[in-house]
Chains A and B, each alone.
Chain A
Amino acid sequence: MKKLILTAAVLALSAGMGMAASHGKTIRLGTEGAYPPYNFINDKGEIDGFERELGDELCKRAELTCEWVKNDWDSIIPNLVSGNYDVIIAGMSITAERDQIIDFSQDYYPPTASTFVAKSADADLKGVISAQTSTIQAGYVAESGATLLEFATPEETVAAVRSGEADAVFADWDYLKPIVEASGGELVVAGDPVPLGGGVGLGIRESDKELRDKLDGAITAMKADGSLNTLLKKWFGDETATY
């Protein structure tokens, strides 16, 4: 085993040096892989979704070699800060709190509305509301006076409503829309949409200004030539907000 690891390390070292000479640094993109249509694992077991296509395109334009990494939502910021990957691309809304710890690129998804989804349209929105841990939605519910029921994955927040554990789930409308449509009337929108967050951006270490500028430039270029809007429409439908 020791020998194996050693051999692997030597191989990696030499391979890494060869690559470093020809391509420059590899940028590792960290995502959650559980938040369709932003990011999810497709039938082939690969990361797929709006952010997969966007990330690949941004890397191409910024002339970076990129690699995808999966990470739990809970520990996605600590692992960026300690350098396990270089970019968070996981439907993360730009907020002042997060901005104190990490840096954000400009938004690549306009500020959107979050909605309540429940089994009936007149559900008690001051009752038990489920939301994913450390999201802006969880923060909003906690301040609204309702009882917050937190879960580690978005999947579990919806399951809690189906099982009756929570009165409603509060999340991005883009995430809930396909679920509501596929539920065949079991789940419906309750109450009014709430505009939340400052749009979705890439999370980057504060010390990585150069990388941020590169990716920012690529996003600007994609906004200018309309290719970002095409991507948005492809994944979120024709009525989605565009630039």
Chain B
Amino acid sequence: MFQYCTDPSTLDGLAWLSCYLTTAKHAAFYVSFGTVLLLLAVTAPAALGMGFLGASAARSRILPLSIFGKGYIAIVRGVPDIAFFLFFVIALDQGIEYLRHITLCPDWDQPIRQGNDFLVCPAAKAPLGTSPQWVHEVYGFSIAVFTFALVFGAFAANVLYGAMRAVPRAQLETAEAYGMNTRQIFWRILVPQMWVYALPGLSNLWMVLIKATPLLFLLGVEDIVYWARELGGTKTPQFTEYPHGDWRMWYFLFLLVFYLAFTRISEIVLDRLMQRLTLGQATMGGEAQRKAAA
């Protein structure tokens, strides 16, 4: 990065540190913060969407749909996260490859399962064995987003299901009295009012999601915790220009500060959102706002 960095062994103090912190390996560490933020930015709306679908299905009047929604919520909430992240991802990956295998290679005569091996034809591999590394990374990232959305969607579904039931029945009855049909009641009365009941539960989920990102490494995505561990580990002089002892504590301290700051920012934003959603609602908070304004 800097000119004087060509021979770090002659440097000390801040000059050494400035070289050390600007190695390409550290750049990968900084980029991984972006990866985590991107994952959160994509996963949160996706999980909310899954949650909304799940909750709508669970309270549906059509029995199979309702069973499906409730089953989704119950099963995913009941399975331990780590088991889900390990097995579901491998199963999903193999499922995709199996479907591609059936459609792309109809005349393949060898069995897919040979002992321990899972073998599909080369054209069915996802991504293709020949594709460059970044395609593999995008694929891994997408699988990660999907898995996160599925898991957190189940929790969000449960929160939203509860929030939908918390909207005062009188509100819905009034809407019926005005002659609105089921769809209109759902979209115009129920959904706008339920968010204020859902937000405390959803904000909890968001906090858990922020801290669940180290699970990414299980899915082959290199996140901030992986790099902190790799960079902080003892480095002996033979294998690096910047030998140092066990510095993992300092890297993890940095992560701690990052996570705390991120949590604080989230809290501030969620508080504002709560204020906004409470406005004009038939809740204690809404009543307090009305009185304060009057």
Identify the A interface with B (CB < 8 A). Answer: 1, 5, 8-9, 12-13, 15-16, 19-20, 23, 25-28, 33-34, 36-37, 40-46, 48-49, 65, 67, 69-72, 75, 78, 81-84, 86, 101-102, 153, 155, 158-159, 162, 178-179, 181-182, 205-207
Count A/B pairs, Cβ under 8 Å. 122
* A87 to B: closest C-beta gap in Å: 12
| A–B Cβ pairs within 8 angstroms, 19 of them | A5-B142, A12-B135, A13-B128, A15-B132, A16-B128, A19-B130, A27-B129, A28-B129, A33-B230, A40-B239, A42-B240, A43-B23, A43-B242, A48-B239, A49-B239, A67-B132, A81-B116, A81-B117, A206-B114
* B29 to A: closest C-beta gap in Å: 9
Asked if B114 contacts A207 (CB within 8 A), the reply is yes
Asked if B28 contacts A45 (CB within 8 A), the reply is yes
A65: nearest chain-B partner, CB-CB: B130
Task: Identify which of B128, B132, B136 gathers the most chain A CB atoms within 10 Å of its CB.
Answer: B128
Asked if A8 contacts B138 (CB within 8 A), the reply is yes
B42: nearest chain-A partner, CB-CB: A1
Residues of B within 8 A of A49 (CB): 239
Asked if A206 contacts B133 (CB within 8 A), the reply is no
A237: nearest chain-B partner, CB-CB: B238
CA distance A19 to B119 in the complex (A): 21
CA distance A169 to B42 in the complex (A): 43
Asked if A178 contacts B236 (CB within 8 A), the reply is yes
CA distance A42 to B28 in the complex (A): 12
CA distance A23 to B122 in the complex (A): 14
Asked if A207 contacts B117 (CB within 8 A), the reply is yes
Asked if A45 contacts B128 (CB within 8 A), the reply is no
CA distance A102 to B117 in the complex (A): 9
B9 proximal to A (CB < 8 A): no
Asked if A178 contacts B239 (CB within 8 A), the reply is yes
CA distance A40 to B234 in the complex (A): 12
B115: nearest chain-A partner, CB-CB: A206
Residues of A within 8 A of B258 (CB): none
Asked if A71 contacts B220 (CB within 8 A), the reply is yes
Tell me the residues in window 91-140 of chain B with beta carbons closer than 8 Å to chain A beta carbons: 93-94, 97, 114-120, 122, 125, 127-133, 135-136, 138
CA distance A89 to B129 in the complex (A): 17
Residues of B within 8 A of A178 (CB): 236-239
Asked if B222 contacts A155 (CB within 8 A), the reply is no
Residues of B within 8 A of A83 (CB): 97, 117-120, 125
Asked if A42 contacts B25 (CB within 8 A), the reply is yes
* B128 to A: closest C-beta gap in Å: 4
CA distance A12 to B90 in the complex (A): 22
Residues of B within 8 A of A43 (CB): 23-25, 240-242
